[in-house]
Amino acid sequence: MTLRSKIFLLLALTYAFLVGYLYVVWMPDATRYQVEANQRLQHRALTTLGEGLTPMVLAGQLGDLHDTLDQVRQGNPEWRAVELLDARGRRLYPLAGTPLPAAGADDVQHELVLRIGGNPAATLRVLISQAPLLAEIRAAQSRLIVALAVTTLLALALAAVMLEATVRRPVGRLAAASHALAAGQFDAPLPRAGGDEIGELVRSFADMRDEVRDSQQHLRQLAATLEDRVQQEVARNREKDHLLIQQSRLASMGEMVHNIAHQWRQPLNALGLLIHNIRDDYEYGTMTSANLRQATADAQRLLERMSHTIDDFRDFFRPDREMADFDVGAAVRDALFITEASLKNYNIEVAADIPAGVVAEGYPSQFSQALLNLLINAKEALQQRGPGGRIAVRLAAEAGRANVTVDDTAGGIPEEVLAKIFEPYFTTKEQGSGIGLYMAKMIIEKNMNGSIAASNTPAGARFVVSIPLKAAAAGAQHG
Ligand SMILES: Nc1ncnc2c1ncn2[C@@H]1O[C@H](COP(=O)(O)OP(=O)(O)O)[C@@H](O)[C@H]1O
Ligand SMILES: [Mg+2]
């Protein structure tokens, strides 16, 4: 149903109700009041007439009486009949024998007893027709109904015109504009915004359309540059990751060189001594072929040991190609092995509780490197506080996970930096790179589906690395 027909229906219903009320309630009431008022007036006129007639009755002036009553009848055509009877019931007026007309439906009969000194002297009866009065009332009421109908029709027409001008036309244009907007057109004409509610609607529609236009433009620009930006970002990230890995590898290489130097110190000394002895033997003429053979064999053994050390380290840095089942304890021990020499150098005690047979699936070499980063950090933290200190490394299989805990006694990580230590390039050290923990986190969380967390103990920092155990073996390892 359109707005127009709704409003028409409302007005028509109001009109019908009003007319119904007028017909059923108001008009009968009004008619009755007017008829009653009229009857009271008639009665009063009759009383006055009676008062004039009484002396004539008393004096027996029948001629005057007839003249008076004839005059009255002429002046009041609605008085259909007048009858005057004396105290004994004889008719004084009209003349005896003249028949009285019968009372009609619209007639009212008044009866007035004329008294003299309290005794009835005569009775006046008048038959008055209400028909002219009723006709007049009905005519007036009809005029009212007609006036009402005309007013209502006018109101309807006016409402229609106003509705058309202030609501239907602007709303129609607004609807057309919003259809256009949905189709991506932003310049459909809008109705003029007046001060009423429709004006408010038009203004807010215009605002909304502007906003949509702006954000669409923005989106389009964004879409145009997004692809470029993503590609740039991807390239930059790849570069950054590459750099990180490079840097981290350099850091552990440094550690390795340090260790190799340490491992080689003793065989190098021995070699030096051996060479020295060969020269002495030769100079003192005590060099026999047996001596020489012994010395070259010794030198050979030392060189093999040194070469073996290099192999050990090379294995450690060989990148993992594929996921494999690996012994977590062995990987932890590998990391300890790399740092062993420098830890010993700084008198740092290592307590290792590393059970065998804890098997997980993943990249063992990467896992060792992550742990190596933790150990290097612990070592550096202890170094800052002078020689001594202790690092405890514990491995446990718990609830389907292999948990490695690294504790140190270097006083811990300040609370205010604790939340940031895993961020790339975050460091509190003058020579720090800030990638050790970031790399460790990437390896453990991204590549091994595990977790790494830092906290503080009363003595120092605690790092817990947790990775899932190999699924099939998990149950067996629990007990
Ligand atoms: N065992 C630890 N004790 C105290 N602070 C630590 C420890 N391990 C890491 N940190 C803090 O975390 C920071 C980030 O470590 P890391 O990512 O390895 O970078 P870097 O060692 O180059 O500073 C360190 O600078 C240090 O402030
Ligand atoms: Mg570090």
Q: Is residue 359 in contact with ligand 1, taking CB distance under 6 Å? A: no
**Which of 415, 427, 439, 455 is the best mutation target for the ligand 1 pocket, counting ligand atoms within 8 Å of the beta carbon and taking the most?**
427
Residue 33 pLDDT class (50, 70, 90 cuts): very high
Nearest partner of 49 among 138, 125, 161, judged by Cα: 125
Half-sphere exposure of 177 (CA within 13 A, CB side): 23
Tell me what pLDDT residue 356 has: 92
Q: What is the pLDDT of residues 81-134, one digit of tens each?
A: 899 988 888 888 887 667 777 778 888 889 999 988 888 989 999 999 988 899
Do 93 and 65 touch, CB atoms closer than 8 A? yes
For the chain, give the mean pLDDT: 88
- Report, in angstroms and rounded to the nearest whole number, the Rg of the chain calculated over CA atoms: 62
Q: Is residue 424 in contact with ligand 1, taking CB distance under 6 Å? A: no
The closest-lying atom of ligand 1 relative to the alpha carbon of residue 463 is 1
Q: What is the pLDDT of residues 146-163, one digit of tens each?
A: 998 898 889 888 988 988
Q: Is residue 433 in contact with ligand 1, taking CB distance under 6 Å? A: yes
Q: Is the pLDDT of residue 407 over 50?
A: yes
Alpha-carbon span 62 to 391, nearest angstrom: 154
User: 400: CA distance to ligand 1 center in Å?
Assistant: 29
Q: If residue 395 lies in a helix (H) or strand (E), which one and from where to where?
A: strand 390-398
Q: Is residue 247 in contact with ligand 1, taking CB distance under 6 Å? A: no
User: 435: CA distance to ligand 2 center in Å?
Assistant: 7
Q: What is the pLDDT of residues 340-370, one digit of tens each?
A: 888 988 899 999 999 999 999 998 988 998 9
Which amino acid, 124? L
Please tell me which of 68-72, 163-167, 249-253, 464-468 the model is most confident about, judged by mean pLDDT: 464-468
User: 344: CA distance to ligand 1 center in Å?
Assistant: 21
Q: What residue ranges do the domains of the chain occupy?
A: 3-153, 319-478
* Range from 134-143, 230-239, 418-427 carrying the lowest mean pLDDT: 230-239
User: 248: CA distance to ligand 2 center in Å?
Assistant: 9
Residue 479 pLDDT class (50, 70, 90 cuts): very low
> To the nearest whole percent, how much of the chain has pLDDT over 90?
41
Tell me what pLDDT residue 358 has: 95
Nearest protein Cα to ligand 1, atom 27: 428
> To the nearest whole percent, how much of the chain has pLDDT over 70?
96
Nearest protein Cα to ligand 1, atom 20: 434
402 pairs with which residues across the strands? 397, 467
Average pLDDT over residues 191-208: 88
Nearest protein Cα to ligand 1, atom 9: 377
Q: Is 406 helix (H, G, I), strand (E, B) or coil?
A: strand
Q: In what order do the strands lie in the sheet with 119-129?
A: 91-93, 79-86, 119-129, 107-116
Q: Which fold has domain 319-478?
A: Heat Shock Protein 90 (3.30.565)
Does residue 407 or residue 96 have the better pLDDT? 407
Tell me what pLDDT residue 475 has: 47
User: 92: CA distance to ligand 2 center in Å?
Assistant: 145
Q: Is residue 294 in contact with ligand 1, taking CB distance under 6 Å? A: no
Nearest partner of 41 among 130, 140, 157, judged by Cα: 130
Tell me what pLDDT residue 477 has: 45
Q: Is residue 177 in contact with ligand 1, taking CB distance under 6 Å? A: no
Q: Is residue 432 in contact with ligand 1, taking CB distance under 6 Å? A: yes
Nearest partner of 210 among 177, 235, 242, judged by Cα: 177
Dihedral of CA 286/287/290/295: which sign?
A: positive
Q: Is 269 helix (H, G, I), strand (E, B) or coil?
A: helix
Dihedral of CA 15/19/22/25: which sign?
A: negative
Q: What is the pLDDT of residues 223-247, one digit of tens each?
A: 888 888 888 988 888 787 777 767 7
**Which of 406, 421, 456, 464 is the best mutation target for the ligand 1 pocket, counting ligand atoms within 8 Å of the beta carbon and taking the most?**
421
Residue 467 pLDDT class (50, 70, 90 cuts): very high
Tell me what pLDDT residue 472 has: 59
Average pLDDT over residues 32-43: 92
Q: Is the pLDDT of residue 478 over 70?
A: no
Other CB atoms within 10 Å distance of the CB of residue 44: 10
Average pLDDT over residues 383-391: 91
The closest-lying atom of ligand 1 relative to the alpha carbon of residue 377 is 8
Q: Is the pLDDT of residue 338 over 90?
A: no
Average pLDDT over residues 168-176: 88
Residues with CB under 5 A from ligand 2 (ion): 377, 436
Q: Is the pLDDT of residue 304 over 80?
A: yes
Nearest partner of 8 among 208, 159, 203, 229, judged by Cα: 159
User: 182: CA distance to ligand 2 center in Å?
Assistant: 57
Residue 474 pLDDT class (50, 70, 90 cuts): very low
Q: Is 321 helix (H, G, I), strand (E, B) or coil?
A: coil
- Buried/exposed code over 431-443 (b: 16+ C-beta within 10 A; e: otherwise): eebbbbbbbbbbb
Average pLDDT over residues 24-28: 92
Alpha-carbon span 48 to 57, nearest angstrom: 15
How many Å separate Cα 111 from the centre of its chain?
A: 87
Q: Which two tokens stand for residue 265?
A: 């110190």
Nearest partner of 278 among 36, 107, 286, judged by Cα: 286
